[in-house]
Amino acid sequence: MDVWASLLEGFANAATPENLLYALVGVILGTAVGVLPGLGPAMTVALLLPVTYALEPTSAFIMFAGIYYGGMYGGSTTSILLNTPGESSSVVTAIEGNKMAKSGRASQALATAAIGSFVAGTIGSILLVLCAPIVVEFAISLGSPSYFAIMVLALIAVTAVLGSSRVRGFSALGLGLAVGLVGMDPVSGQSRLTFGEPLLADGLDVVVVAVAIFAVGEALWVAAHLRRTAAHVIPVGRPWMGREDWGRSWKPWLRGTAYGFPFGALPAGGAEIPTFLSYVTEKRLSKKPEEFGHGAIEGVAGPEAANNASAAGTLVPMLSLGLPTNATAAVMLAALVQYGIQPGPLLFDREPQLVWALIASLFIGNTLLLLINLPLAPAWAKLLQIPRPYLYAGILFFATLGAYSVNLQSFDLAVLLVLGALGFAMRRYGLPVLPLVIGLILGPRIEQQLRKSLQLSSGEWSGLWSEPVAIGVYVVIGLILAWPLLARLLRRSRAVPVTASDDTPTEAEQELVDRRNR
Amino acid sequence: MTVVVGYVPNPEGEAAVTHAVREARARRTKLVLVNTSRGDALVDPRYAFEDQLAAIERRLVEEGVEHTSVHAITGTEPALAILEVADTHGAELIVLGVRRRSPVGKLIMGSTAQRVLLEATVPVLAVKAPRQ
Amino acid sequence: MTSLAHRLTGRSELGLAALLGAAGLVVLWDALGLEAPYSQSDTVGPRTLPYAVAALLLVCAVWLTLDVVRGGRGEAEGGEDVDLTHPTEWRVVLPLAAVFLGNVLLIDRLGWVISGAFLFWGSAWALGSRSYLRDAIVSVVLSLLTFYGFYVGLGIYLPAGLLEGAL
């Protein structure tokens, strides 16, 4: 079959010593970043974007994928091993994992998290291999009007569904689109929003904007609210699991994967809902539900698998449609654009080497993660002793270095500061960052598709809904936008009492949204 | 007049407490236990936890020594915290655990003991952990 | 929070709404200045998207104002390492921004090694680190490493500035 042949070729590319090295670097960086508080895979990839100028795209993406997966693993290590006085961690893995660690079962918790991540990541990657070509086939058959509609849907879904406040989501989107407008209009050649400043004629470099919003904005925000903590790391030996633990873990792994993958692939899915669902499911299906809240291994196995599977799922729309569903995917797409590679359904056609090497490296990266991190988990915890001033000074240092190296002009650094201040303001006033980045990246492409659609229909605006897929998508968009009104009407006509169930840790939900939404 | 002891949950700290108890008994004064952290890093193994502190306090109760504890995240170096406590509690002696450190190690990691030794206005007793 | 603080927070969010409105007006004004000759091949023209974006921004500005006036508040983003129980510590953020700005102004003249080291040292200081000597050593090592690293590994010449001859 064609697909498997391409995959094998991808393995051949990904397994070169050079690319293996990049995978290793990515995985190590990702784990380190995941372990440390305040950082995240999106920020790390953004900080490394300037470096990619000098690397081969294939190698760079292999590294990014490693960072993406590694970040998840590092995060679970911290939440399991961190002994914070008084605070009860509400991130799902931490609920059970931390309790396990406190009762001396840290090795088992780490093992089930690591192996579960590996299983989910591998299965997720296989699913990616199977699904992506199908989506691409479907997408290629779409005309510009439908593609345009789908992109608008991606924008609206991310803006209107995630986050608690729609007005702020749309505001962020508006700002992102506006920033994307700066520069020359490709068709008419006129400069927009440059105010006569020649340095802006090429537009704002996506790299600079991404670094500003993710790294500088975050660093400034954390600086404004520096935490002073002194927690301990629970000492742990080598992670391993007993027979009973294996028996109790394998089904949650599979169930978690089943939850995670589809949610990762949907534009507004994310990773928080599937991990939460997995936790609740495991609790309900468990033969020992009373253990939950005190260290039940299923409560670690399922959610961790869901997490990793959702990361694999995110790659489906990213690679096959060019649509990002979370911050890390958005930044990776920015990297693609940086290389002059157009994301979209034709990516598989135009750059098969890159895509398949990337997918193959997912398997390699997952394996590397398991082999390296399983014995090294206790060592990673030592990283947590780095003082925060160094961490955040380092972020600003590398952000500046990266942004400057793009064009070697200090103007970019001024842009960095201004947009960093914007990022700060957004975090202060609760404007979600994701719509801004997606608006920035998709804006120009949406305009392009709009133009193409109207060209095809010779200027008739009705051409926008000439295709059945387009009509269907617009209906969905309409539903999403009208949802609050509909919900209110439904509620009034049915007056259903809302029951609060006590296995619904809503704080956990909020914590998850905050944590994963970077 | 009190005896101030800088406590850290490790063998040096335990040794310091042992000697501090001896001194407090000999001088018939109160013991003030100090354990603080800058809170700069997410993890600080030198900051005692509730249960560790409770264990030490139980030990002090068993030894029959009158004591109070200063246990907080102060945002300042532990050396400064110790000196400040010595000031406010009218210390006549400060007891600290010390560990062998190379000059480079001291430069990079800093040394609480060295700072206290140099800046204290009262005698300082430096104690090493008993050899295992 | 006292009710005065509550009202003031609301008012600063109105500042954000004003910013959105201003942005929308700027985009609109800029778009009006564009020429859009009729073209068969491009009926959309360079002004359509700017108009749409300006409209979105202005609608959001009004919507946000209404939301704030009715009592809605944007939730400040929490995070793994963020302590939201205290208000913004400006005495950390402002020096940090100042150090950053300093680097922006000095980098071309003094070169990356000096200016980058200043950036790291200054940022660490603004963030509360008081081990001056250790910070300085780390700063210089970092800036030297990255200077040579970028040259050797990526072929990018960071400015050497004052140290032109020495490096």
Contact residues for A505 (Cβ-Cβ < 8 A; gap 6+): A90, A95
Contact A153, A477 (CB under 8 A): yes
* Chain B: closest CA distance from residue A72 (Å): 19
* In the predicted structure, residue A265 carries a pLDDT above the cut 50: yes
Residue A502: pLDDT band with limits 50, 70, 90: very low
Q: Say if strands A183-184 and A191-192 run parallel, antiparallel, or are unpaired.
A: antiparallel
pLDDT in tens, A201-214: 777 888 888 889 88
pLDDT of residue A243: 85
Q: Does B72 touch chain C (CB under 8 A)?
A: no
Q: Which pLDDT belongs to residue A339?
A: 82
Cβ neighbours of A53 in C, within 8 Å: 154
- Report how far residue A316's alpha carbon sits from residue A134's, in angstroms, rounded to the nearest whole number: 10
The shortest C-alpha distance from C36 to chain A (Å) reads 8
- Under the banding of pLDDT at 50, 70 and 90, the label for residue A240 is confident
pLDDT at A503 over 80: no
Specify whether the CB–CB gap between C128 and B40 falls below 8 A.
Answer: yes
At residue A510, what is the residue type?
Answer: Q
**pLDDT (average), residues C129-149:** 88
Nearest CA in chain B to C80: B42
Q: Which two tokens stand for residue A36?
A: 């440390």
Give residue C139's pLDDT band: very low, low, confident or very high (50, 70, 90). very high
Residue B10 to chain C, least CA–CA distance (Å): 24
What pLDDT score was predicted for residue A518?
41
Tokens of A404: 């400057």
Q: Which of A313, A214, A218 is nearest to A258 (CA)?
A: A313
- H/E stretch holding A471 reads helix A468-494
CB-nearest to A38 from C34, C80, C126 is: C80
Tell me the pLDDT tens digit for each residue of B77-128: 889 999 999 999 989 999 998 887 777 777 666 788 888 999 999 999 999 8
Burial of C5 by CB count in 10 Å (0-12 exposed, 13-18 middle, 19+ buried)?
A: exposed
Per-residue pLDDT, averaged over C129-148, amounts to: 88
Q: CA–CA separation, A299 vs A249, rounded Å?
A: 9
In terms of DSSP bridges, do strands B2-6 and B30-37 run parallel, antiparallel, or are they unpaired?
parallel
Task: Assign C2 a pLDDT band (cuts: 50, 70, 90).
Answer: low
Min Cα–Cα distance to chain C from A429, Å: 5
Residues C4-17: what's their mean pLDDT? Answer: 70
Q: What percentage of chain C's residues is helix, strand, coil (to nearest 5)?
A: 70, 0, 30
Give the chain C residue whose CA is nearest to the CA of B42.
Answer: C81
Confidence label for B3 from pLDDT (cuts 50, 70 and 90): very high
Round to whole Å and give the CA distance between B47 and A107.
24
Tell me if B38 sits within 8 A of B78, measured CB to CB.
yes
The pLDDT value recorded for residue B92 is: 92
Say what percent of chain B tops pLDDT 70.
96
Rounded to a whole number of angstroms, the distance between the first and last alpha carbons of chain B is 34
Does the distance separating the beta carbons of C74 and A429 come in below 8 Å? Answer: yes
How far C67 CA lies from chain A's nearest CA (Å)?
A: 8
A100 near A80, Cβ under 8 Å?
A: yes
Strand locations in A238-311 (E) = none
Kindly report, residue by residue over A288-311, the tens digit of the pLDDT: 888 887 888 888 899 989 988 998
The 3 state secondary structure assigned to A426-454 is HHHCCCCHHHHHHHHHHHHHHHHHHHHHH
Q: H or E element: which one contains B2?
A: strand B2-6
Question: pLDDT at position A482, please?
Answer: 81
Handedness of CA B99, B101, B107, B108 (dihedral sign): negative
Residue recorded with tokens 């991404």: A210
Taking alpha carbons only, the member of A433, A402, A513, A413 closest to residue A45 is: A402
B107·C133 Cβ contact <8 A: yes
A406 touches chain C (CB under 8 A): no
Contact in structure between A382 and A131 (CB atoms under 8 Å) = no
On whether any CB of chain C is under 8 Å from the CB of A346, the answer is no
User: Angle at the Cα of A62 (from A391 to A41), degrees rounded to 5?
Assistant: 30
**Average of per-residue pLDDT across A459-469:** 78
CA geometry: angle C135, C140, C141, nearest 5 deg: 100
Q: Which of B39, B43, B75 sits opposite A385 (nearest CB)?
A: B43
Contact criterion met (CB below 8 Å) for A402 and A47: yes
CB neighbours of residue C3 within 10 Å:
7
Band of the pLDDT at A501, cuts 50, 70, 90? very low
- List the structure tokens of A421: 């201040």
Structure tokens at A346: 């034709």
CB A188 within 8 A of CB A400: no
Residues listed for chain B:
132
Q: What SS3 state is found at B66?
A: coil
- Interface check for A199 against chain C (CB to CB < 8 A): the answer is no
Mean pLDDT of all residues in chain C?
82
What average pLDDT does the structure give for chain A?
A: 83
pLDDT at B5: 92
Backbone angles phi, psi at B69, to 5 degrees: -125, 145
| C153 and A CB contact within 8 Å | yes
Shortest CB distance from A232 goes to which of B38, B40, B45?
B45
Name the residue among A48, A290, A10 with its Cα closest to residue A128. A10
Which chain A residue has its CA at the smallest distance from C74's CA?
A: A430
Q: What is the pLDDT of residue A504?
A: 43
Which of A227, A233, A389 lies at the smallest CB-CB distance from B43? A233
Least confident piece of the model among A513-517, B115-119, C60-64: A513-517
Partner-chain contact B40 C130, CB within 8 Å = no
Contact A216, A426 (CB under 8 A): no
Task: Give contacts of B40 with chain A, Cβ < 8 Å.
Answer: 228, 387-389
**Model confidence over A327-347: pLDDT tens digits?**
888 888 888 887 888 888 888
Model confidence at A94: pLDDT above 80? no
E-state strands within B10-111: 30-37, 67-73, 91-98
Of residues C17 and C154, more confidence is placed in: C17
Cβ atoms of C153 and A54 closer than 8 Å: yes
Q: Shortest Cα distance from B53 to chain A (angstroms)?
A: 12
Phi, psi of A155, deg, nearest 5 = -60, -50
For residue A508, the model assigns a pLDDT of 47
Q: What residue in C sits closest to B108 (Cα-Cα)?
A: C134
Q: Which residues of A touch B43 (CB under 8 A)?
A: 82, 230-233, 381, 384-385
A106-135 tens-digit pLDDT:
888 888 888 999 999 999 999 999 988 888
Question: Binning pLDDT at 50, 70 and 90, where does residue C73 land?
Answer: confident
CB B42 within 8 A of CB C81: yes
CA distance C80 to chain B (A): 10
Out of A193, A225, A393, the one facing C83 most closely (by C-beta) is: A225
**How crowded is residue A134: how many other Cβ atoms within 10 Å of its Cβ?**
12
Question: Is the full-model pTM beyond 0.80?
Answer: yes
CB contact (8 A) between residue A82 and residue B41: no
For residue A83, what is the nearest residue in chain B, using CA coordinates? B43
Copy the structure tokens of residue A463: 């051409």
- Tokens coding B60: 């002090």
Taking only the tens place, the pLDDT of each residue in C87-100 is: 788 888 899 999 99
pLDDT band per the 50, 70, 90 thresholds, residue C5: low
> What integer pLDDT is reported at residue A516 of this predicted model?
46
Chain A contact present for B130, CB below 8 A: no
Size of interface A-C (CB pairs under 8 A): 236
- Give me the pLDDT at residue A517, please: 46
Inter-chain residue contact B40 with C133, CB threshold 8 Å: no
> Would you place residue C141 in the very low, low, confident or very high pLDDT band (cuts 50, 70, 90)?
very high
Report the interhelical angle of A2-14 vs A106-140 (nearest 10°): 130
The confidence band for B34, taking pLDDT boundaries of 50, 70 and 90, is very high
Q: Are strands B124-128 and A183-184 parallel, antiparallel or unpaired?
A: unpaired
* β-pair type (B91-98, B124-128): parallel
Q: How far is B38 from chain C (nearest CA, A)?
A: 10
Cα separation of A347 and A338, whole Å?
A: 14
Residue A170 above 80 pLDDT? Answer: yes
Tell me the residues of C at the B interface, defined by beta carbons under 8 Å apart.
Answer: 81, 128-131, 133-134, 137
List, in order, residues 6 or more apart from B109 with CB less than 8 Å away: B101
Cα separation of C102 and C98, whole Å? 6
SS3 content of chain A, % helix, strand, coil (to 5): 75, 0, 20
List the single best residue of C70, C73, C82, C105 to mutate versus A (max A Cβ within 10 A). Answer: C82
Would you state the structure tokens that stand for residue C14, as one six-digit string?
Answer: 């109105």
pLDDT top residue among A426 and A480: A426
% chain A with pLDDT above 90: 11
At residue A418 the predicted structure's pLDDT band, cuts being 50, 70 and 90, is: very high
Strand partners, B67: B31
Mark yes or no for CB contact A387/B45 under 8 Å: no
Indicate the SS3 state at residue B30: strand
With 80 as the cut, is the pLDDT of residue A348 above it? yes
B54 pLDDT more than 80: yes
Q: Which residues in chain A have their CB less than 8 angstroms from residue B50's CB?
A: 85
Cα A74 to chain centroid, rounded: 15
